[in-house]
Each structure stands twice: as C-alpha cells, then as structure tokens.
Amino acid sequence: MGKGYSAAIAANPYIVGSFACIGGGLFGLDISSMSGVLNNPAYQIQFGYPSSNAQGAIVAAMPAGSFVGALAVTKLADRFGRKQTVILSGWIWVVGSILQCASVNRGMLVVGRIVSGLAVGIASSIVPIYQSEITAPAIRGRLVSMQQWATTWGILIQYFVEFGCSYINGKASFRIPWGLQMIPAIILSLGMMLFPESPRWLIDHSRPEEALTILADLHGGGDPNNSLVQLEYHEIQEQVALEREQGAKSYRDLFKPGIFRRVTLGCALQMWSQLSGMNILMYYIIYVFEGAGLTGRRANLIADSVQYVLNVALTVPAIIYIDKWGRRPMLLTGTMLMGFWLMLVGGLQGHFGHWGEVEGAQSRVWVLTGNDHATKAIIVCSYLFVCSFAITMGPVCIVDIPRRNIPDARPRKSGLCGHRQVVVGPRCHNAHGAHAAVNWVFNFALAWAVPPSLSTIAYKTYFIFGTFNFAAFIHIFFCFPETAQRTLEEVEDVFAQGHAFAAWRVTRDVGKKTLEDVKAEAKHEIHEHEDSVDEKV
C-alpha cells in the first residue's frame, strides 16, 4: 500500500474494473427507496399525504440533482482525478442518505434527494470513464455493461429491504431503509482507496512515473518494461501532448460536422430510454398495480418484487450476447415489444376500468374492480414490458453510448499485434456529459409528470408511452447503424459511410478489418512516420 493502492487488486482486471460499478448501484437504490414507500401509511402521515403533483416533485428531486452532478463531473474528474471523484460521489451519497433518513417534512426530504441525486449524477458519469481508462480493451465493454446490472441489483436489494421493513410499525419502516442505503456508498468510498488512479489522468497532470507504475501493475505483472505497458504508456503520452497542442475542447466542438450526428444519436438513445415508460414501472409500479385492482399493501409489494427480480435476471443474457445479437436488432425488437405491452395495458385498463377510490390514495384513481382476469393480464403485461427493456434497451444504452462518443484522436495500433489503445480526452468527456444531461433531464420531467398524469388522464398515459416506443422504433430503423463487434476506430468507418437516414444500408461487415488490414495500416503509419522524420532532419 506504499503506492497508495493495492498492487494485488490492480493486477486483477475484473476486480479493478467492476468494483466502481457500486456507483451505478446507487441509482438503483434511489429508485426503489421511493417506490417501496408510496403506499406506506407512516410515510404518508409523516409527509402530509402528498398529492400526485407533490409526490412527483419529491421523486423528481433526485434526477434534478443528478443533472447538476452529470454536468459537474468533467471539471471534478479533470481537477481531482477519476479515483477521487468516485470516492467523493460516495460521501455525497452518505450526506444525502442522512438527510433523507432524518427528514421531518417534505422540504428536508427534497433537499436530501437532491444531494443524493448529485452523487448519482457524478457516479454514473465518472465510473464508465474510470473503467475505460483503467481496464484492457478486450474486456472493457463487458465491464462497462456491468454498470447497468449493478443498477438492477441496487433496485432489487433496496426494494427487499423496504419490503422487510414494511412489517415494522411507525416511522422506522421507511427511515431504516433510507439509512441502510449509506452502507454501499461507504464501502465504495473506502474500497476505492485500494484502487489505482487513472494512468491517463496522472500523465495529464505531469506525474508520468506514477502512471508507468500503475500500468505495470495493471497489465504487466509489475514489470514496467513489459512491451504492452510501454506501448500504452507512450501512446497515452502522445495523446496528452496532442491535446495540449490543440488546446482545451469545448462543448461547441460537439456541433461540428460529423461529430454532431454521433452526439445527437447518443443523446437520442438516452431520450428514448426514458420515454420508453420504464420509469412508470420502476418508480410507480405500486400505482400501476393499484390501478389494475391488486388490493392489499403486502400483496402489492410482493407482486412488485417479481418485476425487480425479472429486471436483474433478464439483464444477464443481454450482457453475455449483446455483441452477438447486435445493438440495432436489440433496440428495434425492444422498442416494438415495449410499445405493444404498454398499448395492451392501456387498452385493458381503458375497457375494464373506471374512476374510483383506493385505500390510502388522496384522490380518485382509474381502477379495475371485480375482474380478476383483467387484473392478472395487466400484471403479466407489466412483467413482460420490464423483461423486454432489461434484455434490450437497458444494457444497450450503457454499452453503446461510449461507442458513439468521439475520442480526441483516432485510436492507435500497436505495430503488428493489432491491439487497440483508447484514451479518453476532453471532447469525449463533453459528449458523455451531454448524453448524461439529456438522460437526467428526461428522467426529471417524467418522474414529476407521471403521478399527475395517472390521476388525470389515467390509462391514456400508457398509450402516450407506447407511442413514444413506436416513434423510437422508426428513428432507430432509419438513423442508427450497427456498431456491434467493432473497435472505436471501426465505428468511425461506419459513420464515414454516410447513410444518415438509411442506417439499414450499413451492413455488419462495414469497417471490419482483418489481421492483414491491420498489418498493412501499421506498416503505412510506420512509413509515414519515417518520412516525417526525414523531412524534419
């Protein structure tokens, strides 16, 4: 630990790349920390029986804070380092959890959720950056996709904590779960002290010796003279020097031709993931099942827990087979299925439901009564919707966004071995920040809007989100090219093909390179470099 981290931990690529995913789990904790208490009498009494609009504002406070955190993460990560920013996000989450746990009124609860949201916005943005700069390219995509799985686990664990505490009478039934959610953040912040800083950040801050030592521990068994370590070390140095020559990148760069298309597609993917309606089933599943006629608080909680288990389980095959199935087919299949299930839920509720009263609700709701078959059909359709999201759009949004980001320079090849080294620069940070900001803006808007929508237009809410999914299907079909099984450099070749509104014309072999192609390009680069040296001489 004289180095400031554990060399043994750094040598294990899966540990060093996956531990920070706890930061992604914080978002999951927050989602179910609210969904599990919406029909809790003690919660309702403590916070004055919040109306649908007030409850929407309480829930939306978290993504409001996350929006600020996502915008601030670039400055924080560049000034303090990736590792320290991850640690900071954990301690901010602890402060937010304390405020929520001790809340005596809505104002204090909202402030606590804003602070927790700030932590989520920072963590959800910095963790993929840290992973991309600390892990080997061969396993980078797999580890980044773990971020989504960590979120599903956070939702599941916190929900079962909420469910267990629901048997406690009084305020402890919601205060204990809100207090216990500090534990993962404490583990994250303390545990990250055993992990190394990003070598790229160290080189960018004139600490090359430390960067070389870390690269040796990460990829060379502690040997700084290892060929791969030396390659990565010199490539990062070259990239950092290039960035300094070109000057700092700004958000205006994202509007340049060629770059703008990729940024807008990434932002659109984040937008469609929020407009898919998954927020309804995550934040407000209790309201959905109450409207479906599922009576009894405990019965509702048990039924809700099934969908969270499905969310965790169905994410696994997507992580394993995402490169084989392809991003484009997964997105097209997912949006079509999700739209179908939501239309079916809306149709069943519209045909069999009516305005009525539900115990504990502060206003009338659209509810099914006396029709057990329709109730079960709505619950099953809700489960199938969650499965459709978990196995398609959920993981794709996490894995595909970095592939649509823009590195500051093309990834370099290591001679004849074909290894690709990617270093993340300011322009890529700004693109990632733009994507995250769009995600949190729509999350905020929908978290606030859904409760009033369910209490006013009722079942028509599902038709609106179903229509969004069909619109996403059309947009993806025409504009989103396939990027599966391609390096970041090959993705650039995909977008260079054009076909901005005919994405299906970009076949899966576009941009793919054989070993011979890589060797030829490497030799060409060597000759260009030699010619450049001769000219300078």
Q: Is residue 24 domain-shared with residue 154, that is, in the same domain?
A: yes
The DSSP-derived string for 303-326 is HHHHHHHHHHHHHHHHHHHHHHH-
Q: Is residue 363 domain-shared with residue 478, that is, in the same domain?
A: yes
The pLDDT score that the predictor gives to residue 520 is 60
Q: Is residue 417 part of a domain?
A: no
Phi-psi region of 370 (alpha: psi -120 to 50; beta: other; left: phi over 0): left
Copy the structure tokens of residue 7: 């060399």
Domain coverage including residue 37: 1-197
Domain boundary among 147, 177, 197: 197
The pLDDT score that the predictor gives to residue 510 is 62
Q: Is residue 62 domain-shared with residue 151, that is, in the same domain?
A: yes
What's the pLDDT tens digit per position in 49-79? 999 899 999 999 999 999 999 889 888 998 9
The pLDDT score that the predictor gives to residue 253 is 64
Q: Is residue 364 domain-shared with residue 283, that is, in the same domain?
A: yes
- As a whole number of Å, the end-to-end CA separation of the chain is 46
Q: Is residue 19 domain-shared with residue 160, that is, in the same domain?
A: yes
CATH number at residue 480: 1.20.1250.20
Q: Is residue 509 part of a domain?
A: no
Q: Is residue 174 part of a domain?
A: yes
Low-confidence ranges of the chain (pLDDT < 70): 1-2, 137-138, 140-141, 243, 245-258, 359-363, 399-434, 484-493, 508-537
Helix (H, G, I), strand (E, B) or coil at 421: strand
The pLDDT score that the predictor gives to residue 524 is 57
Q: Is residue 324 part of a domain?
A: yes
Q: Is residue 206 part of a domain?
A: no
Measured between alpha carbons, how far is 491 from 12 in angstroms, rounded to an integer? 29
Phi-psi region of 296 (alpha: psi -120 to 50; beta: other; left: phi over 0): left
Q: Is residue 82 domain-shared with residue 2, that is, in the same domain?
A: yes
Q: Is residue 171 domain-shared with residue 269, that is, in the same domain?
A: no
What's the pLDDT tens digit per position in 157-181? 999 998 899 889 899 999 999 999 9
Q: Is residue 510 part of a domain?
A: no
